[in-house]
Structure 1
Amino acid sequence: MNILEINNDLFRMLNSLGKEFQFFNLPMIIIAEYTVIFLAIFVILFWFTKDRENKIMLMCASIAFVLAELTLIENGITKYESIEKVIRRKFHKTNLM
């Protein structure tokens, strides 16, 4: 069993919990919608602390984020396309050559 199958199985297991236990839906929706906002708030708070190590950490994380986004854009991954489909498409291209 490869990592993609494990990932898919875990996703389906968690997704089915939402059907069985309705009270899981609201917290998961809130986490999915507002995590980016909380992350931005924490980045701003870290930036305005006087600790130099926090600022270096934020700069490194920002560079890593920008490189990851550029890699996704370069490989043609859109917001609505699953990474699994892209990996399979890339793998299929290399096997054809």
Structure 2
Amino acid sequence: MRSTYRNKKWLAAVGQIEQCVLCGAWGVQVAHRNEGKGIGMKTDDCATAAICVTCHSEIDNGKGLSRDERRQLMDRAIVLTVIQIARRGLVVPA
């Protein structure tokens, strides 16, 4: 079984993004992708997004979106987060 990727520098970089990558609201949470989680478990740290409380709640519990729509929205948020991290030079590839 493969181990889960953990990286505090990556999480800190995501947390430095001040605005939600989806809606632009100020104040973000570092949100992990929901897939592959269990009790007390999270997905890889590199599968995180800088999103506001409202977007995070909608992705995790949104009744107005299907499961596939919520996953697509989170995938989009993760990609937009990676783009912001790269553009700002918050994490430099080794």
Q: Same fold (TM over 0.5)?
A: no
Which of these two proteins has the greater Rg computed from alpha carbons? Answer: 1
| Structure with more strand by fraction | 2
Q: Which has the higher helix share?
A: 1
Kindly indicate whether structure 1 or structure 2 has the higher relative contact order, using CA contacts under 8 Å at least 6 residues apart.
2
